[in-house]
Amino acid sequence: MDNFSPGFHGRTNRFEGRLPPGQYPTESFPVLSAGPTPRVLTETWDFGITTESGQRHSWDWDQMMALPQEDLTVDIHCVTRWSKFDTSWRGVSLDAFLEDVETSADFALVHSEGGYTTNLPLEDLTDGKAWLVHTFDGYDLSPEHGGPVRLLVPQHYLWKSAKWVKGISLTPQDEPGFWESVGYHDYGDPWREQRTWSD
């Protein structure tokens, strides 16, 4: 053990390479909402995808729960600089929702209860990169964190992970969402530190 140093197997090393530039790790889970927390009931919940030709596909709660459920553990990064490692969620991959949706659109505008929106290239919602999640850490997702269902797109800053998600419109052109239209970066990659328009 020539190179043994105390703490080598300790906390700092465990997350090496997993903290994007300008971020700090936190154990807590802050709540960041632009408005009041809406109370969304699973009994009346539904989620719709509308294509560029106006075709609408929708799922109610039971139909969503009947789709393949996945457990995932991911790191999340907020543009306000906190990162949280190994968050665990259960939900449905966007791939499952998009399976029967015919589209040639390149962009998605995500809509939430309450009017919040956020935009992403459609390819960032496919191939196992995005989920609709209803469970956090083994419990029903709380209303403050977007329950009963939020989008989770961990490869982007967390403002792209729309809480209380209710629909996605697929569009040929990129349309900025709520924060993207007032100065947040259009794409929001934490590893390239794309926080604002000037990044």
Binding footprint of Mo ion on the chain (CB under 5 A): 32, 78-79, 159
Interacting partner of 65 out of Mo ion, ligand MTE, none (Cβ under 5 to 8 A depending on kind): none
Interacting partner of 163 out of Mo ion, ligand MTE, none (Cβ under 5 to 8 A depending on kind): ligand MTE
DSSP codes, 81-114: SEEEEEEEEEEEEHHHHHTT------EEEEEETT
Contacts of 98 (CB under 8 A, 6+ apart): 49, 125, 126
Interacting partner of 183 out of Mo ion, ligand MTE, none (Cβ under 5 to 8 A depending on kind): none
| Amino acid in position 25 | P
CA distance 108 to 124: 9
Binding mask 106-135 for ligand MTE (x = CB under 6 A): ------x-x-x-------------------
Interacting partner of 112 out of ligand MTE, Mo ion, none (Cβ under 5 to 8 A depending on kind): ligand MTE
Binding mask 59-78 for ligand MTE (x = CB under 6 A): -------------------x
Measured from the CB atom, the residue of 33 and 126 that comes closer to ligand MTE is 33
What tokens does 56 get? 């609408």
SS3 call for 174: coil
CA distance 50 to 57: 6
Interacting partner of 133 out of ligand MTE, Mo ion, none (Cβ under 5 to 8 A depending on kind): none
Q: Is 92 a residue that touches ligand MTE (CB under 6 A)? A: no
CA distance 181 to 199: 15
Measured from the CB atom, the residue of 66 and 182 that comes closer to ligand MTE is 182
- Considering only residues 153 through 172, tell me which ones interact with ligand MTE, judged by CB under 6 A: 158-159, 161-164
Do the Cβ atoms of 112 and 163 come closer than 8 Å? yes
CA distance 181 to 164: 20
The residues of the shown chain that bind ligand MTE, judged by CB under 6 A, are: 29-34, 78, 112, 114, 116, 145-146, 158-159, 161-164
